[in-house]
Structure 1
Amino acid sequence: MEAFPAEVAAAVREGPFEVAFDLAIRHRGLSLEALQRRMAGRGAQVSLATLSYWRRGRRHPEGHRSLHAVGVAEGCLGLPEETLTRLVARPRVRTAEPWPGGVSLASALGSEPTELAACDGIDLDGNSRLALASVRQRAVLGPDRTERSVRTELVVTSRADGVDRWVSFFRPQTGGGHRPVLRAAHCCRPGRVRRDAASELLACELRFDYPLRAGETYVFDFEFGYEGTPPETSYLQFGVRAPARQIVLQACFDPAAVPVRCYRYHRPRDGAADPAAREPELPVGPSLTSHIAVMDARPGVYGMVWEWD
């Protein structure tokens, strides 16, 4: 093996991939255009944007074609086989320490452990690597009192390098064969999806446009709806396992179905909400909306509930 400078040798030995890739390119004195031409000459067609994203850690090579291209890049950069592909195969995310005083996932969702077992293959603790700066959730109710859509916008800060996804959990209020689906996603794309048929719990991975660095913020939003008839709904809630700077929940009612009363509630930590401890009524204004806004929210479940009759 060619003798590389200590900095390059350490990077290709220890990673991460983007650092090793960048230093190897610099050591060769190549521009990305020159590297792209060399790779194309060996049968690997990769865009300049992709090479730039790999070099800066904005994206990570995934899939057979990308891994083949990384192997070709090794040859173009004078690196031994598997030098970079070995780094690609390594887990990219350093585990962040759990939040002290946080609540369990089952508590935040109001779910049983058996329901979460249906989410096999999804990292159920992955969201703990993101700090919640802002949660804005808006539910639209129909004239028949049903939940037509729920849109959520999140602002997060990464607690570790390499975090590239959020797992969203969604479940109808009532049973009866309702099938929630992801209708839209912005600044993220759907990954693995899991369902628990009995509880109708839906878990959906939402993959970011690029991996985040520790301390980096990210904004994304998504919307859930239903295939077929939506369920009748009388509450909107969001559970957080760790502190959140801001939580805003808003329910938008149809003129043909306006609740007679609306309240807010909070279920702290692993305790159950006391129905008798409802806070004063929330107003439903001329715009036919009602909302709650919580600043510096502690772990637990925050919600609003309304009475139709």
Structure 2
Amino acid sequence: MTSSSPPGPSMPDPLARPSMFAERFAEALSRSHRSMSWLQHRLVSSGYRVSLSTLSYWRSGRRQPEHQESLEALGEVERLLALDPGFLRDAIGPPRRPGPPTPTIAFDDLIARPDPLVEEALSRLGLGDWTTHFTELSSHVIVEVDEHGSERAVTIRAVLRGRSPHAQRYPFFLFAGETMHGPVEFLPQTGCRVGREIKDHAQGLFVAEVILDKALGPGDTAFIEVSVILAPQRFSGYQQFVARRIAELVIMVQFHPDRLPVSIHSFQHADGHSSTLPYDRAAGTSAHLVLRAFGPGTAGLTWTWSEG
């Protein structure tokens, strides 16, 4: 599960019909009876930095592996899905972006090249230029996992600073990277209300217009809190997208005492560097990550459940 205030405007990649690679990948994933969440977690556990959104792009044909980091991960994907070596890699077509090769980026493609679905949703809400109106100073995220291992709620508390007169409408989104079943509800808690919403269960994309209680002027600040209530669906990690450098990012996952993971790892991707660290289980029923002066990039926590 991923969440963020969305990235700033950029040019979307051209849409294309599903490639041979996308068709092979989608078919192999379906035959394996495994979810993309499972695959992404296994990749992270093996040291490969591939996000749910990237896997979703590969499956749909909106992206294909091109950077060296992605190509290296592809061999592990083939192994995890019990495919012959080269089955997926041999199906990759020519690069879709003209010009010289793009340098490997150290954070998720959703930040560098926002998905057309995200850009369309922001445009429909009239929020495509949100970065000219706000700076996010801090973001504290609380993820609640129930006794069945399902992420049931995500609460984000953010401090915003105005950058222009009358800044009042702020976007918020969740991106699951796969089909979401059941209702998803945005609940304003403090300092705001929720306006228009776009909910695309098939793509796992949910965008809300958050309206501050009071419009901000340049330099003014506001504290807001929004919760998202989710239908039961099991994931094995949470990551936060940060479109611009943020003074403080805190991510905390609260597990049910009757359903604790067997291992937890924290990870971060920013400034051309990546790191993954094991988390001390002695911390009890929760795990957290604190980052200062972070971004743009992605950061989060992943966990492993027992097979029983």
- CA distance in 2 between partners of 1:104 and 1:293 (Å): 18
* Separation in structure 1 between the aligned mates of residue 301 and residue 289 of structure 2, nearest angstrom: 7
Counterpart of 2:304, as a letter, is E
Say which of 215, 218, 234 aligns to 1:232: 234
2:301 corresponds to:
304
- Given candidates 115, 120, 124, the residue that maps to 1:117 is 120
CA distance in structure 1 between the aligned counterparts of 2:112 and 2:149, rounded to whole angstroms:
23
Q: How does 1:286-305 map to 2 (within 5 A)?
A: 286-305=283-302
Q: Is the 8 A contact 1:127 1:166 kept in 2?
A: no
CA-CA distance at 1:218 after TM superposition: 0.8
CA distance in 1 between partners of 2:212 and 2:189 (Å): 10
Q: Deviations over 1:134-187 (max 9, x none)?
A: 110001100100011111100111112211121110133642424321133311
Q: Is the 8 A contact 1:118 1:196 kept in 2?
A: no
Question: Who is 1:153 aligned against?
Answer: 157
- CA-to-aligned-CA distance 1:268-298 (integer Å, 9 cap, x gap): 37x8x9xxx6522012345400010001112
1:107 corresponds to 2:110: yes
- Is 1:282 the counterpart of 2:284? The answer is no
Cα gap change, 1:200/1:116 in structure 2, threshold over 3 Å: closer, same or farther?
farther
User: 1:186 aligns to what?
Assistant: 190
| Aligned CA distance change for structure 1 residues 216 and 115 (closer, same or farther; 3 Å) | closer
- Mark the CA change 1:304 to 1:284 in structure 2 (over 3 Å): closer, same or farther: same
Q: Does residue 257 of structure 1 match 2:254?
A: no
Query: Which amino acid is 1:112 matched to?
Result: D
Q: Which residue of 1 aligns with 2:145?
A: 141
Give 4+ residue runs of structure 1 displaced > 6 Å after superposition.
103-106
Say yes or no: does 1:130 pair with 2:127: no
Relative to structure 1, is the Cα distance of residues 254 and 197 closer, same or farther in structure 2, using a 3 angstrom cutoff?
A: closer
- 1:219: Cα distance to partner? 0.6
For structure 1, list consecutive stretches of 5 or more residues without a partner in the other structure.
1-102
CA distance in 1, matches of 2:166, 2:243: 21
C-alpha deviations, 1:33-62, integer Å up to 9, x for none? xxxxxxxxxxxxxxxxxxxxxxxxxxxxxx
CA shift in 2, pair 1:123/1:290, >3 Å: same
Question: 2:120 and 2:155 mapped to 1: Cα distance?
Answer: 26
Q: Distance in 1 between matches of 2:232 and 2:297?
A: 27
What do residues 213-257 of structure 1 show as CA deviations (whole Å, max 9, x unaligned)? Answer: 10111111010012xx42112112211111100000000001221
CA distance in 2, matches of 1:122, 1:287: 43
Q: CA deviation at 1:115?
A: 4.8
| Number of residue-to-residue matches in the alignment | 200
Report what 1:245 is aligned to.
247
Cα distance per residue 1:68-93 (max 9 Å; x no partner): xxxxxxxxxxxxxxxxxxxxxxxxxx
RMSD: 2.7
Aligned counterpart in structure 2 of residue 213 of structure 1, from 217, 242, 245: 217
The structure-2 alpha-carbon separation of the partners of 1:110 and 1:232, relative to structure 1 and needing over 3 Å to count, comes to farther
CA distance in 2, matches of 1:308, 1:110: 32
On the 8 A contact 1:172/1:180 being kept in 2, the answer is no
8 Å CA contact retained: 1:192, 1:205: yes
Query: CA separation in 2, counterparts of 1:118 and 1:216?
Result: 27
Distance 1:193 1:109 in 2: 24
Q: Does structure 2 retain, via aligned residues, the 8 Å contact 1:167–1:206?
A: yes
**1:208–1:115: structure 2 CA closer, same or farther, 3 Å change rule?**
closer
Tell me, what secondary structure is at the counterpart of 1:117? helix
Q: TM-score, normalised by structure 1?
A: 0.59
- Alpha-carbon contact 2:107-2:298 (below 8 Å) kept: no
Larger RCO, structures 1/2 (Cα 8 Å, 6+ apart): 2
**Mapped contact 1:179–1:200 kept (Cα < 8 A):** no
| 2:172 alignment partner in structure 1 | 168
Q: In 1, Cα distance between the equivalents of 2:112 and 2:195?
A: 20
